[in-house]
Amino acid sequence: MFEKIYILWLRQLKRYWRSKPRVIGSLGQPLLFLLALGYGMGAVFQQAGKGDYLDFLAPGIIGMSIIFTAIFSGIEIIWDRQFGFLKEVLVAPMSRLEIMIGHTLGGATVAFLQGVVVLLLSIAVGFGPIGWIEIFPALGIMFLTALLFAGFGVAVASRLNDMQGFQLIMNFLIMPLFFLSGALFPLEGAPKMLLAIAAIDPLSYGVDALRGLLTGSYYYGLPLDIAALAGAASLAVAAGSYLFSKIQI
């Protein structure tokens, strides 16, 4: 079982990193956010007594990079279905659960590595973590966040037949998840309606855990962040496994 999952996981990685324009393009938006917002809004943030905005922003941008890459890894299921490769995989001597796990782990690993690159870019442009030891548990949070949204991407892709529909639905979901997670603004003092929405947004807990580990500033607290991420990831992977098992070719 593990050998089959490893083969599918490795295929996901090779497919992504062979596409150099895609890799370079996926780094452009996080870098733009870091430079344009991190420095452009820095003076306003400091005047409000909130400290360095780049330090506040960087964990949110890392989360943004992870969620975009992880969710859009699901589009490869639709791509494989349209070009007949998925049919070949499904008739291979492996269960659909193994196929789904391999695909999800591959997408999560790619998203995790993307987040690591954005973390390094953040440090290069001026972000300063409170300590280097804290980076290691932060990496665990990054992978858990990637696993959550990779599973979610697989679940949605399993119910769709065209890439255009997937892109429309994902853009409709990703932007609210990102903008309402507290990635760009502090949740302290936010309107109650916004706080209620952020509380059901799983990315809020990933960003809060990263921000707490890297800068020492929590809103929910690390135990709640981990519990919420783990629970949401379990639900997403379970939903993805069920929907992928029902996929029609």
Chain mean position to CA 119: 13
Q: Rounded to an integer, what distance in angstroms lies between the CA atom of residue 100 and that of residue 240?
A: 7
Percent of the chain with pLDDT over 90: 25
Summarised one tens digit per residue, pLDDT across range 175-213 is 888 888 888 888 888 888 989 999 999 999 999 999 999
**Residue 188, amino acid:** E
Tell me which of 199 and 172 has the higher pLDDT: 199
Write the single-letter amino acid at 104. T
pLDDT digits (tens, 9 = 90+) for 27-49: 778 888 888 887 777 677 776 66
DSSP conformation class of 228: H
The CA distance from 64 to 106, in Å, is: 18
Q: Could you report the per-residue pLDDT of 140-149, keeping only the tens digit for each? A: 999 999 999 9
Q: Give tens-digit pLDDT for 72-125.
A: 877 777 777 776 666 666 666 667 777 788 888 888 998 998 899 999 999 988
Taking 70 as the threshold, does the pLDDT of residue 129 lie above it?
yes
> Sign of the CA dihedral 115, 120, 123, 125?
negative
**Paired tokens of 185:** 């603004």
How many angstroms separate the CA atoms of 80 and 75, rounded? 9
CA gap 56, 243 in Å, rounded: 37
pLDDT for 238 beyond 60: yes
Q: What is the distance between the alpha carbons of residues 182 and 198, in angstroms, rounded to a whole number?
A: 7
| 10 touches 18 (CB < 8 A) | no
Average pLDDT rounded to a whole number, residues 5-29: 66
Question: The tokens of 46 are what?
Answer: 């400091």
DSSP state of 161: S
Quote the mean pLDDT of the chain.
Answer: 82
The string of DSSP letters for 173-205 reads HHHHHHHTTTSSS-STT--HHHHHHHHT-HHHH
Q: What is the largest CA-CA distance in the chain?
A: 62
Write the CB contacts of 142 (distance below 8 Å, at least 6 apart in sequence): 62, 66, 112, 115, 116, 119, 206, 210
Domain boundaries, the chain: 2-245
